[in-house]
């Protein structure tokens, strides 16, 4: 079979990649390809602009800078951290090193991180293993997040200084547009693109399904452990933007916006935002998170796609309910022990009492609590309120107008089972990307789970890639609907369950959500 050249001509210029070594043999990766101009200076909080073509051959041998965030979150190994920059709009392509007779399916990944951290250089997102094992093209895309990607200053736009809504979401769309234009040059099929993501990246998939500008850019969607309510209302977006600018002007500020505060002058806003360094913007964003938690607003995180009525017309759950999500096949699901990661390592979920806010009747409150075991009840309720319940609602609505496949990921290596962490948030990524044999995951595999990690990796990669290839994950995986709630339990081995925890689902629908899921 012919071997693919490492130099590929894109619409913007030629790029040179690297052949894989060690466990990545049989692949080529092109890392750090710019898909938009740097969003710096006057282009902060603007939609991504087309990249300027370059002469000659661009060496794309390593990842581009990570988006601006705390250094800790950019670790690539012991003592190694990825540089951070506002100039972060790059993507990476991973492909088998052989030339295929027919175009390969394409899988485009959006990382998670609660829209406040992340980046494609995170080792778990290396697409080489998946590309080689399943003969697909994998693309990973950097997008802006935090205050750089998801603050809405559009109300302060003037003729001299424009601000666009949803820069981070627009980055994701621009990445998909780049794939549509260029992926054929890498041996990929532009008509067989699947967008997938985990956590905030999974939420982003649901948002992309609800974004008119993304229409026609992908043929399938996979949403892993989404928090479907992770969006911001226009009303709260105005409040967040106002408070952010005031915090930037007065770092000692200790109170939130009050009714008697005069409105901000757009000219002042433009000047303050232009004069701030990336470090100052990041530091102010961290303060804004604290303000949001203290204010107990309906949107608990200030950084997420904004329902602006134009670029993002509706909340994804409402779009699915109204039949306005794209009618493309979709896989969606959660992990069995979703909340354990947050309970032990990252306390950002609401507590169980916050999760149950809105119940109109004490009996309803007590009923819902009675359906959970006493042990770890608070963790289970918080995780279900954030992840599982809205996910099942979205699946039920979306299934009315597009093939929908629901899963629960139950597999956990022996070490995670023994620790009580189990199949927690993000652990399925090790199987999807095949990194149980990489230094990031080999310790879990070697501790008594060598054979089972190999099998769960084959299971996940087979179903995800077959879905990318055909629009259906497996012959034995039935479609989900509100009339037939069959769920694929991804474990070693797999099995089908009918409406798992249906009593909890029905209780959440009845006493909290007020509509069927």
* pTM, 2 dp: 0.96
Please give the mean pLDDT across all residues of the chain.
Answer: 93
Confidence of residue 257 (pLDDT cuts 50, 70, 90): low
Q: Say whether pLDDT at 43 is over 90.
A: yes
Residue 107 pLDDT > 90, yes or no?
yes
Mean pLDDT value across residues 13-18 = 98
What is the phi-psi region of residue 146: left when phi exceeds 0, alpha when psi lies from -120 to 50, beta otherwise?
left
CA distance 28 to 128: 8
- End-to-end CA distance of the chain: give it in Å, rounded: 49
- For residues 311-325, average pLDDT: 97
User: C-alpha dihedral over 308, 312, 315, 316, to 10 degrees?
Assistant: -170
DSSP code of residue 214: G
Report the C-alpha gap between 399 and 481 in whole angstroms.
6
Who wins on pLDDT, 254 or 36? 36
Q: In whole angstroms, what is the distance from residue 182 CA to residue 92 CA?
A: 12
Token pair belonging to 28: 């080529």
Residue among 446, 9, 362, 427 at smallest CA distance from 184: 9
Does residue 372 register a pLDDT over 90? yes
State how far Cα 222 lies from the chain centre: 10
Token code pair at residue 459? 């299971």
Report residue 473: phi and psi, to 5°: -75, -30
> What whole-number distance in Å separates Cα of residue 23 and Cα of residue 268?
54
pLDDT tens per residue, range 74-87? 999 888 999 999 99
Q: How far apart are CA 379 and CA 367, in angstroms?
A: 17
Q: Which of 425-429, 435-439, 506-510 has the highest average model confidence (pLDDT)?
A: 425-429
> Could you report the per-residue pLDDT of 432-467, keeping only the tens digit for each?
999 999 999 999 999 999 999 999 999 999 999 999
Predicted local confidence at residue 167, as pLDDT: 98
Provide the annotated active-site residues: 199, 338, 425
């Amino acid at each position: 079979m012919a071997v693919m050249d490492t130099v590929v001509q894109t619409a913007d210029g030629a790029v040179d990649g690297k052949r894989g070594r060690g466990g990545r043999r049989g692949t080529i990766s092109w890392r750090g390809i710019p898909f938009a101009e740097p969003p710096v200076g006057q282009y902060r909080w603007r939609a991504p602009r087309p990249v300027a073509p370059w002469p000659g051959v661009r060496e794309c041998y390593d990842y581009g800078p990570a988006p601006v965030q705390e250094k800790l979150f950019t670790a690539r190994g012991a003592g190694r951290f990825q540089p951070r920059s506002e100039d972060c709009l790059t993507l990476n392509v991973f492909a088998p090193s052989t030339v295929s007779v027919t175009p390969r399916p394409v899988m485009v990944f959006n990382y998670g991180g609660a829209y406040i951290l992340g980046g494609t250089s995170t080792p778990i997102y290396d697409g080489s293993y998946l590309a080689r094992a399943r003969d697909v093209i994998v693309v990973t895309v950097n997008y802006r997040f935090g205050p750089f990607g998801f603050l809405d200053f559009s109300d302060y736009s003037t003729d001299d200084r424009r601000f666009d809504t949803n820069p981070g979401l627009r980055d994701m769309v621009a990445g998909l547009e780049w794939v549509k234009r260029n992926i054929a040059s890498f041996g990929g099929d532009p008509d067989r693109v699947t967008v997938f993501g985990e956590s905030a990246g999974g939420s982003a998939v649901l948002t992309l399904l609800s974004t008119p500008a993304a229409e026609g850019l992908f043929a399938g969607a996979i949403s892993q452990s989404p928090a479907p309510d992770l969006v911001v209302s226009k009303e709260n977006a105005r409040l967040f933007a106002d408070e952010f600018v005031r915090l930037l002007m007065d770092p000692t500020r200790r109170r939130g916006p009050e009714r008697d505060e005069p409105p901000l002058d757009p000219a002042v806003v433009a000047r303050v935002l232009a004069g701030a360094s990336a470090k100052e913007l990041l530091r102010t964003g961290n303060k804004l998170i604290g303000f949001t938690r203290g204010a107990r607003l309906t949107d608990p995180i200030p950084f997420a796609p904004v329902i602006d009525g134009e670029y993002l017309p509706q909340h994804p759950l409402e779009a699915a309910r109204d039949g306005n999500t794209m009618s493309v096949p979709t896989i969606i699901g959660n992990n069995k022990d979703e909340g354990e990661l947050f309970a032990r390592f990252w306390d950002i979920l609401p507590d169980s009492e916050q999760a149950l806010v809105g119940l109109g009747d004490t009996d309803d409150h007590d009923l819902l609590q009675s359906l959970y075991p006493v042990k770890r009840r608070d963790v289970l309720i918080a995780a279900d309120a954030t992840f599982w319940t809205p996910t099942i609602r979205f699946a039920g609505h979306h299934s009315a107008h597009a093939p929908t496949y629901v899963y629960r990921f139950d597999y956990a290596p022996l070490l995670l089972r023994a620790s009580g962490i189990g199949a927690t948030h993000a652990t399925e990524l090790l199987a999807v990307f095949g990194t149980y044999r990489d230094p990031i995951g080999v310790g879990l595999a070697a501790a008594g789970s060598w054979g089972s990690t190999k099998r769960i990796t084959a299971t996940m990669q087979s179903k995800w890639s077959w879905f990318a290839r055909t629009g259906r994950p497996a012959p034995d995986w039935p479609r989900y609907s509100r009339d037939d709630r069959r769920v694929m339990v991804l474990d070693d081995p797999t099995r089908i369950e009918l409406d798992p925890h249906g009593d909890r689902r029905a209780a959440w629908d009845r006493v909290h959500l007020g509509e069927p899921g």
